[in-house]
Amino acid sequence: MVPPKQPEFVLLASPDWTDYELLDSGAGSKLERFGPYRFVRPEPQAIWQPTLDEQEWRRADAVFRTDSNTEGGRWSFNRQIEPQWIMRYKNLSFWAQPTPFRHMGVFPEQANQWDWVRGHVEAARGQARVLNLFGYTGIASLAAASAGAAVTHVDASKKTIGWARENQVLSGLDDRPIRWILDDALKFVRREVRRGAQYDGFIIDPPPFGRGPKGEIWRIDDGLPELLRECRQLMSDAPLFMVLTAYAIRFSALSLRYLLSETIADFGGTLAGGEAVIPEQRTDRLLSTAIFARWSAR
């Protein structure tokens, strides 16, 4: 019996940061630097022990403390900090701030994907139409637009889209063609199919659970396979790429890869999947933060 071909599995790091560092991790938490500030946030993957001493951890400017009675939590500030501050990654600038959902408005492990998307748009000499679903604060959209793409950015939060538009101005890209769409991702994609719209690149970063602007319920288990089937109908005759990322779900990276392989079955190119990781600055440990699958026509 011939053994099956093993799929490519990648650990995807983002080593080019200057405004972000993973300083330490362990005991269910991580110590990070976002710009000038240090934060401690929960991290279920960090089941090992920290390497820095407790004094270093106590120097954090703020700690996100989870609530054992709910799925949420709150920030506890050890000192006063700016309500928001500017961070930079290469030619992009964006606001960062502590949110009630423990995030900072930027996911540092995604920087590799921003570079990857930018490279594909540049290779197409900027002639690319890119759809970014669940676009959050827009950094991936800005990476594509900075390379010349016409971007459609979809998110269900009016506040988050406002944040993304501020990031566009901060990055000096306010003259670039970005459509900011407040909508439920699946509903929008279905309408685009009926309109006969086509896109060359797709960025899809869905949450495990969410609500659309009109109360639509999103569950990744049911919604993601249907969403990708609809996106398949939006692919142009010569698509460039599709990248899919997921956080805190039951699926494995292999599951995402096989799901994406169904979507692009009629095309050649290369397909990869794996984990997005952040290297600690003082050890050889890699903290896995998300799983991904991505396809390239190249």
pLDDT > 90: percent of the chain: 83
| Residue of higher predicted confidence among 56 and 9 | 56
The type of residue at 164 is A
The type of residue at 176 is R
- As a residue count, the chain comes to 298
Structural element, H or E, at residue 140: helix 139-146
| Residue of higher predicted confidence among 296 and 250 | 296
**Which distant-in-sequence residues (6+ apart) come within 8 Å of 218 by Cβ?**
156, 184, 185, 186, 206, 207, 209, 210, 211, 212
pLDDT score recorded for residue 74: 94
Checking if the pLDDT of 237 tops 80, the result is yes
pLDDT score recorded for residue 249: 79
E strands, the chain, are 9-12, 20-26, 29-34, 37-42, 62-66, 73-77, 85-89, 92-96, 129-133, 150-155, 178-182, 201-204, 209-211, 217-219, 241-246, 270-279, 286-296
Count of alpha carbons within 13 Å of 91, Cβ hemisphere only? Answer: 11
Checking if the pLDDT of 97 tops 60, the result is yes
- Alpha-carbon distances, residue 87 vs 10, 55, 111, 218, 277 (angstroms): 27, 26, 13, 31, 20
- For range 238-250, the mean pLDDT: 92
Under a CB-based contact definition with an 8 Å cutoff, are residues 260 and 231 in contact? no
- For range 52-77, the mean pLDDT: 88
The residues that bridge with 245 in the sheet, in sequence order, are: 292
pLDDT score recorded for residue 68: 63
pLDDT score recorded for residue 266: 86
Neighbours of 239 (CB within 10 A): 22
Distance (Å, rounded) from C-alpha 33 to C-alpha 266?
Answer: 43
Tokens for 260, please give them.
Answer: 């994406």
Distance (Å, rounded) from C-alpha 102 to C-alpha 232?
Answer: 33
Checking if the pLDDT of 238 tops 90, the result is yes
178-231, pLDDT tens digit by residue?
A: 999 999 999 999 999 999 999 999 999 998 888 888 888 888 888 999 999 999
155-177, pLDDT tens digit by residue?
A: 999 999 999 999 999 999 999 99
Q: Which of 63-77, 114-128, 184-198, 220-234 has the lowest mean pLDDT?
A: 63-77
Q: Which of 1-10, 115-124, 249-258 has the lowest mean pLDDT?
A: 1-10
- Alpha-carbon distances, residue 217 vs 73, 153, 186, 191, 209 (angstroms): 23, 19, 10, 17, 8
pLDDT score recorded for residue 72: 74
Domain spans of the chain, in order of start: 17-89, 106-296
Instruction: Tell me which residue of 222, 31, 241, 229 sits closest to 140, measured CA to CA.
Output: 241
Checking if the pLDDT of 70 tops 80, the result is no
Report the chain's mean pLDDT, rounded to a whole number.
94
Write the class of the CATH domain 17-89: mainly beta
Checking if the pLDDT of 127 tops 90, the result is no
Distance (Å, rounded) from C-alpha 121 to C-alpha 111?
Answer: 16
pLDDT score recorded for residue 71: 59
Confidence of residue 259 (pLDDT cuts 50, 70, 90): very high
Query: CB-based burial of residue 267 (10 Å sphere; 0-12 exposed, 13-18 middle, 19+ buried)?
Result: middle
Distance (Å, rounded) from C-alpha 165 to C-alpha 182?
Answer: 12
What's the CATH code, domain 106-296? 3.40.50.150
Checking if the pLDDT of 2 tops 60, the result is no
pLDDT score recorded for residue 268: 87
Dihedral sign computed on CA atoms, order 232, 202, 148, 167: positive
